[in-house]
Structure 1
Amino acid sequence: MNPSPAGAQARVFFALWPNDEERTALAVWQVPLLNVCGGRAMRTDTLHSTLVFLGEIERTRLEALRLAAHEIDGACFELSFEVARYWGHNHIAYAAPTHIPPELPRLVQQLEQSLRRHHFRFELREFKPHATLLRHAVWTDAPLPEMTRVSWQCKEFVLVESQQNAQGAHYQVLEHFPLR
């Protein structure tokens, strides 16, 4: 088998991708979190909630990946972020829901099952919905600030390619998949 030519790989994931208004409302949380945790705020245009992370795949498999996603029959739902949390193992401050709508884990489960049927490998981990707000954050035990609730109207999910450049990661939405 011949090795893949340069650029034949794509780093991809499926995500909930908020609209500009929803994303801007969530970005407001970054300032008070930076005051407590320091770190680096994620660019507002990159805020999202990952559903399934696949990592590197062959570009020749992107069409099969799209087909797998089109098999999903998920319902629309509202996802509300109400609390800020911190993961010490990767130094991330993030927004989290206190209530997970049942449609969300069903969507992730359907997506994982379809990906398996199409012979895709992906990260196997317990699904914990969140939106990363800060990277390289450091937190001790000071109370994290209370946040104003931010709700996303989830009417679709997207396939995203992560591309690295000198300024960091740039996300390109490759395709939108509507929910019913």
Structure 2
Amino acid sequence: MTIPLPGLDLQQLGPEQSLRAFIGWWPDAQTRLYLAEQAVQAQVIYGGRMMHADHFHLTLAFLDGSSVSVLQALAENMADWPVPAITLDLTLRDVFEKPQVVWAGPDESQRQALTVLDQWHEDIWARLTALGWTQPPRRFRPHVSLLRHARIAADQSHRHALPTQAFVGDGVGLIVSVPGEQRSQYHLAATVNPGRAVS
């Protein structure tokens, strides 16, 4: 299991400091290469800023701003969370118009994979709720962001079939976003089932 991000020891930070965080499912190097190629092609159409290749991920739960003390408790709790085996293909490019995001993901024909992903998402949120988080009302749409700040024309279809690529998972982690001079940098604060391959 390899998530290609610098590590961050939450114990070294002030407990009341607030960091944006999420739980993400990271693809392997081959999948990241495919996603980088799709991001380059999408940028020709939409402009915007490409995601850094090591940042490609599928978000399982977005935690927004959370205190370090709360994230420390989560990091200790999540090590033994279950990770289901999922066979998932990336087959579709589409957009989220309002946040100006272009993404890749599975199409609706992959019912079994989407059902397992939905169940995994709900299981994670049940565990987070027990720790004090509140699940947002937004619909869960499994995706990997390719571009941000894209120029997306309103009231047009942006759905586009992609060459099929298996999403091969290579780790599930608690990721925190640390502000930098030019852009924020993702750091790995904890992993789920470290040492176990995710399929």
Report deviation, 1:153: 2.4
Q: Map 1:1-180; keep pairs closer than 5 Å.
A: 8-70=17-79, 72-98=81-107, 99=110, 101=113, 102-140=115-153, 141=156, 146-154=161-169, 156-178=171-193
Q: Identity of aligned pairs, percent? A: 22
Take 1:71 and 1:120, find their aligned partners in 2: how far apart are those partners?
19
TM-score (norm 2): 0.78
Report the structure, 1 or 2, having the larger strand content: 1
8 A Cα contact 1:163 1:171, kept in partner: yes
Aligned length: 176
How far apart in 1 are the matches of 2:96 and 2:133? 28
For residues 103 and 65 of structure 1, the distance between their equivalents in structure 2, rounded to whole angstroms, comes to 23
Distance 2:160 2:105 in 1: 13
TM-score, scaled relative to structure 1:
0.86
1:119-176 CA distances to partner (integer Å, 9 max, x unpaired)?
A: 1235332110001101111133476654222222236421101112122121111122
CA RMSD of aligned residues (A): 2.3
Tell me if the contact between 2:26 and 2:170 (Cα under 8 Å) persists in the aligned partners. no
Cα distance change, pair 6–114 in 1 and its aligned pair in 2 (3 A): closer
Partners of 2:22 and 2:43 in 1: how far apart? 27
SS in 2 for 1:82: strand
Counterpart contact for 1:158–1:174, Cα < 8 Å: yes
Question: What SS is found at the alignment partner of 2:184?
Answer: strand
* Residue 59 (structure 1) shift: 0.9
Secondary structure of the 1:168 match is: coil
- What runs of 5+ residues in structure 1 fail to find an aligned partner? none
SS of the aligned residue for 1:172 comes to: strand
